[in-house]
Amino acid sequence: MELLPELAGEVTGDPERRGVATLGEFTSGQLQRLCAVAGLGPEDARTYADVLTGELGPEAGRRLDLPPSGRTFLSDDHTPVEYSLAFRPDGPPDLRVLLEPGCGAGTLEENGRAGLAAVHAMSRRWGFGTACLDKLEELLLPPSPQGPLALWCALELRPGGVPRVKVYLNPAARGASRAGATVREALERIGHHWAFEGLPEGDGYPFLALDLGDWELPRVKVYVRHSGLSAAEVGELSRMPDGPPAAELREFAAAAAGTGRADARFSGLPVLSCHSFTDPADDLPSGFTLHVPVRDYVRHDGEALDRAVDLLSRNGMDPDPLLRALPALTGRRPRDGVGMIAYLALAHQRGRPPRITAYLSAEAYAVRPPTG
């Protein structure tokens, strides 16, 4: 399924690329520099760069002067890797990396199988269980699956060289028209019997995510797509008890999208809401995240960066790591392209201070030219 327009971008004269021949070299260089930005030491940085290269499998050795081997929708230019920095008021941001382990597979079914094998290998290596994933395998990784993805995983790179792992699955694997029923069934299978009923309306369920491994409170997360909402409507999306006030969500959405008006609509890429469930005894979500695809609401990354810095500062978070992250990823100036900052998200989880996350593209294959 084609979800994003083909990029007409080009990569020219980026100094980060000098002497870098393969996707693995390119992304492991980026990741090591980001580790330094996020306060991880050189040993962790090397370990995690090796982990990333390992998870990409044979794709890591693919030459960068060849086109991407698949058309993953993980990122706009089809790089199967994306980074994120999750900021907090009281310390350095957490660094995460999202990747598609099966990106080199010929079919979506093989892609899912390769992804599953990668997750099982991680579970053996780092000693965590996969019980939830096992319960959902047949439902969400069926034979002859439909797109646009099969399995992605995200690694949260904490100090010590052992990441926390999240898995992203596709509720539309059995067809987009059945995605709602599939989400309901998935939630029931892992014990959240009434969770589905409380979700807000939307026009699709792009992902279902599971925390695996050593999390304090493992979550299952349901993502809902909302096309054409106004900032005022975005304010109403949380279903979390004692969750974020509507005004906070509305202001975040309006500031990220660069519109001062609550009735202005998101006419570009849709916002996503994400509802996380921790306790099966609890039908209501314990967390809520609003994802704003800022890249479709700016002319260039300079603008996206200004908005991100403003939102971080307003919320008592130090923007300095973000300012250092961009040059860790690319030699181009922010205003010379658009899409490096893919999403800005506001995350609330019960009992924790709110966080802001910036999702950062690798741009291994293409840079989208600025629109103004």
d(Cα 34, Cα 55) in Å, to the nearest integer?
A: 18
Name the minimum Å distance from CB 75 to ligand TRP. Answer: 6
Number of residues that bind ligand TRP (CB under 6 A): 11
Using CB under 6 A as the binding rule, whether residue 359 contacts ligand TRP is answered as: yes
Q: Would you say 47 or 164 has its CB closer to ligand TRP?
A: 164
Instruction: Please tell me whether the peptide bond between 148 and the residue prior to it is cis, using omega within 30 degrees of 0.
Output: yes
Separation of alpha carbons 264 and 230, rounded Å? 5
Instruction: Report, in Å, the least distance between residue 166 CB and ligand TRP.
Output: 12
Using CB under 6 A, which residues numbered 254 to 283 contact ligand TRP? Answer: 272
Q: Which is nearer to ligand TRP, 123 or 146 (CB)?
A: 146
Determine, following the binding rule CB under 6 A, whether residue 166 of this chain makes contact with ligand TRP. no
**Considering only residues 95-134, where is the footprint of ligand TRP by CB under 6 A?**
98
Please tell me the distance from the alpha carbon of residue 25 to that of residue 47, in angstroms, as a whole number.
Answer: 14
Under rule CB under 6 A, residue 365 binds ligand TRP: no
Indicate the residue among 278 and 361 with the shorter CB distance to ligand TRP. Answer: 361
Q: Which stretch binds ligand TRP (CB under 6 A): 74-82, 126-134, 244-252, 312-320?
A: 74-82
* 96 φ, ψ (degrees, to nearest 5): -125, 155
- Which H or E run contains 139? helix 131-140
- C-alpha to C-alpha distance for 67 and 317, rounded to whole angstroms: 38
Closer to ligand TRP by Cβ: residue 17 or 291: 291
Residue ranges with strand state E in 253-340:
271-277, 287-292
Helices 42-56, 23-37: crossing angle, 10 deg rounding: 150
Which residue in the set 75, 238, 286, 349 belongs to the binding site for ligand TRP (CB under 6 A)? 75
CA distances from 53 to 23, 25, 136, 260, 317 (A): 9, 8, 27, 42, 31
Q: Which stretch binds ligand TRP (CB under 6 A): 22-30, 72-80, 157-165, 194-202?
A: 72-80
The three-state (H, E, C) secondary structure of 202-254, written as one string: CCCCCCEEEEECCCCCCCEEEEEEECCCEHHHHCCCCCCCCCCCHHHHHHHHH
Determine if 291 is a binding residue for ligand TRP (CB under 6 A).
Answer: yes
Among 343, 350, 356, 366, binds ligand TRP (CB under 6 A): 343
Interface residue list for ligand TRP (CB under 6 A): 73-75, 82, 98, 272, 291, 293, 342-343, 359
